[in-house]
Amino acid sequence: MIPSLAEKCGVFGIFAPGEDVARLTFFGLHALQHRGQESAGIASSDGQRIALYAQLGLVSQVFDEATLKGLYGIAAIGHTRYSTTGSNVLCNVQPLLVEDHAGYLPLIDGQPRQLALAHNGNIVNADALRADLESQGVMFETTMDSEVLAQLLATAPGATWEARFATLMRRANGAYSLTVLTRDAIFGVRDPNGIRPLCIGKLDTGHAGYVFASETCALGHLGATFVREVEPGEVVRIDQYGLTSLYTAEAQRSALCLLEYIYFARPDSRMRGQLLYQARIRMGEQLALEHPADADIVIGIPDSATAAALGYARASEIPYVEALVKNRYVGRTFIQPDQRLRDLGVQLKFNPLPELLEGRRVVVVDDTIVRGTTTPRVVAMLRRAGASEVHMRITSPPIEHPCFYGVDMATRGELIAAHQSVDDIRRHIGADSLGYLSIEGTTAATRQPQDALCTACFTGQYPREVPLQLDKFVLEQPGVRDRHAVVGVPPAAR
């Protein structure tokens, strides 16, 4: 995909006494790195205490042997983040560690019980919930909606976890797939609409154990087999007694994010029984039927649009060519390019092959156009490399509405399709033609009913009531962004 959309987070959890749970969590997060590249963290429990280590950076930058050895125990959760509510600062890294304030659960050695929480999604009414909790004397250390969930769970009335999660689901409006760690268990939670994914796997090792992961692609790396998805509105507990479905909220309309199928999830992941690689092939095939082009070659923007480009080529009988090479080691870096390199823009990430493009009429398949700032540079780059015509084909409908459920997209005023026609956008990006896949074609490729998916960014039909606009920094308080966070460090790393 041309860089423009960012999904909030990847979450992971494991309960496996006898296993190196921190190391397995590290590799689980590594498989989910595509879901967030700003920070990473792991919290582990040895059955008595929770240790936490989290920092800014990629998973491989944050953890080393010393930190992993300090995160020993029977269970762990992990998180890799892209911020959608709250700044990318140290105090906002996850998992979050909070004390159990409700007082219904027993003390451990005279100390309050703890819980750690990792969150994928976005809470629409986080500001109102936070104000209510602050009025009750709850102190906040971050500017994230995720801490609102953690504190809501820690302060909820009820002598059981079932009662507490019921309170959380009744009060929180938005998207949340959670992994929650206590001293002796982990919980996997999805909001009642199931907007963000979460699955369960079973370890195929000598020790009994289960894992939670945002995507099934993380399971194979760990030698785990897929069990099932956590259902919308369900709370699943994993402890020494195995796997238990603890609670399920009152049924609401299922609304898994359609962008998971189009772009966010890895192509080797499965959702609702569908391999995403095959779904993207079908999107490309349908796109060729809806928007044919008289062209010589088909190329895809690597990597997310590669499968769709293959589908387009197959259906159109136009040869597929890898004429655009991606530098897979650009990723996130803390070293900014100088102005000359910054002006080159997308050429830091993609390199065209003039020998394959010279004099050719090219179909370029991509998944989305959001603000319309990067696509013109790609078109211009292909023309400089010798393409005689550039025909853009997009495997989604035009994005006309902002997302409130965990995608750092844009305000409606920044979305190019919200105020320009398709032909206006074509002129803006400098393409010879432009075609978007219809909403019917996109959803049909997923083999899911349209009313079982969240299509709000395309249709404006949100699963639940949302505000007209939602500021990413709505929870920012004076001085909070500059506060030096105290992040728990495991003993071996001190």
Which residue numbers are catalytic? Answer: 9
* 130-134, long-range: CB < 8 A, 24+ apart: 130/475
CB 376 within 8 A of CB 429: yes
Identify the helix (H) or strand (E) that includes residue 331.
none
CA atoms within 13 A on the CB side of 356: 15
CB 25 within 8 A of CB 209: no
Closest CA to 346 of 364, 363, 358, 361: 364
CA distance 454 to 254: 8
Burial 147-176 (b: 16+ CB within 10 A, else e): bbbbbbbbbbeeeebeebbbbbbebbbbbb
CA distance 256 to 162: 24
8-state DSSP, 113: -
30: amino acid identity, one letter: H
Helix ranges (H only) for 124-231 are 126-135, 145-155, 161-171, 217-220
CA distance 275 to 200: 16
CA distance 332 to 40: 13
178: amino acid identity, one letter: L
Cis peptide before 232 (omega within 30 of 0): no
CA distance 283 to 235: 33
